[in-house]
Structure formats: C-alpha cells, structure tokens
C-alpha cells in the first residue's frame, strides 16, 4: 500500500514545524517543542527505514498529545493559525494511520512493508504543500530572506 510510508513524511513535516515554532518561544516551551520535533523526525526516519509504521499505540497517543501541546502553544500566542492547522493536519493523519495499523493487528493481519518510489514522491509532495507555507509563517520563516530575493549587495 502506497500510504504506508506517508506517516513518516507527515512526521517530518510536523517535526520541522515544531522545531521552527520552538525557535521563537521562551525556554520551557522551546524545550518541549524541540523535544517533540526531534522525536517526530527520528520516528519518521525509523518508519522509512523499516518500511512500516512502528510503535502504533505510542504514536497514536503521542500524536494526540502533540495536537494538544501545539494548540496550547497557539492559544498562548506562540504559534500562528496556519502553522497550527498544518501541524494538526499532519498529526491527525499520523494518528489515523496508527489507528488503522492497530485495527489490522487486532484482526490478525501482519504489518506490510512498503517502499515504492512513486508513493514516496507523492507523499513528499503532499507534505511539502502543507509544511512549506506553514514554515514561512513561523518566527524563523518570517525572518528569512523573501523568496526570489538575494541578501546583501545587489551591485558589482
């Protein structure tokens, strides 16, 4: 199934967003979001390496917790609506995928491996379409050089 590797890509998108938001937060929030972001990146790497969703029970709980933490940060003014919506969409996708894996386990179906290149490319495009605009609206994204412009001298 092509979508077996998409949760890994969604985790990378959420991880990058959590790290970007963390950069503009006070230390306690920074530490929590940075830990969450790094965990998402690491889990995504493991899923891609193994070709299947790993630790579905833990991931289901962690995805829901990530939504709650992100919402709390946004309500506290540490994150805008677009980054929050992107994080929630990515984490809910991961939670849904984990739920499907848990359902398959309950029905006695073994986990299947998946590594199709087409699925990887489609998933990467999907996550990039969600993550890139949201990254632009985080603190570091707003401080970045505007797209299409060069920093520094423009003359010779």
Tokens of 124: 């990467």
Give me the pLDDT at residue 112, please.
62
87 with 14: CB under 8 angstroms?
A: yes
Q: pLDDT (tens digit, 9 = 90+) per residue, 42-71?
A: 999 999 888 889 999 999 999 999 999 999
pLDDT category of residue 2 using cuts at 50, 70 and 90: very low
Residue 153 lies in a domain: no
pTM: predicted TM-score of the whole model, two decimal places? 0.80
pLDDT at 121 over 60: yes
Domain residues for 34?
2-138
Confidence of residue 1 (pLDDT cuts 50, 70, 90): very low
60 assigned to some structural domain? yes
Q: Give a yes or no: residue 132 inside a domain.
A: yes
User: How far is CA 115 from each of CA 48, 62, 76, 126, rounded to the nearest angstrom?
Assistant: 8, 24, 40, 17
């Amino acid at each position: 199934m092509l979508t077996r590797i998409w949760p890994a890509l969604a985790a990378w998108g959420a991880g990058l967003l959590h790290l970007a938001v963390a950069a503009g937060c006070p230390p306690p929030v920074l530490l929590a979001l940075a830990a969450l972001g790094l965990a998402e990146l690491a889990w995504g790497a493991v899923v891609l390496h193994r070709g299947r969703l790993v630790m579905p029970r833990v991931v289901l709980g962690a995805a829901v917790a990530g939504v709650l933490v992100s919402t709390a940060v946004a309500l506290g003014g540490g994150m805008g609506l677009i980054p929050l919506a992107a994080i929630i969409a990515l984490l809910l996708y991961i939670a849904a995928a984990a739920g499907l894996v848990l359902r398959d386990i309950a029905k006695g179906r073994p986990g299947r491996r998946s590594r199709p290149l087409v699925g990887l490319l489609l998933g990467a495009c999907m996550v990039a379409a969600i993550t890139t605009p949201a990254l632009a609206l985080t603190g570091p994204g707003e401080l970045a050089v505007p797209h299409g412009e060069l920093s520094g001298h423009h003359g010779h």
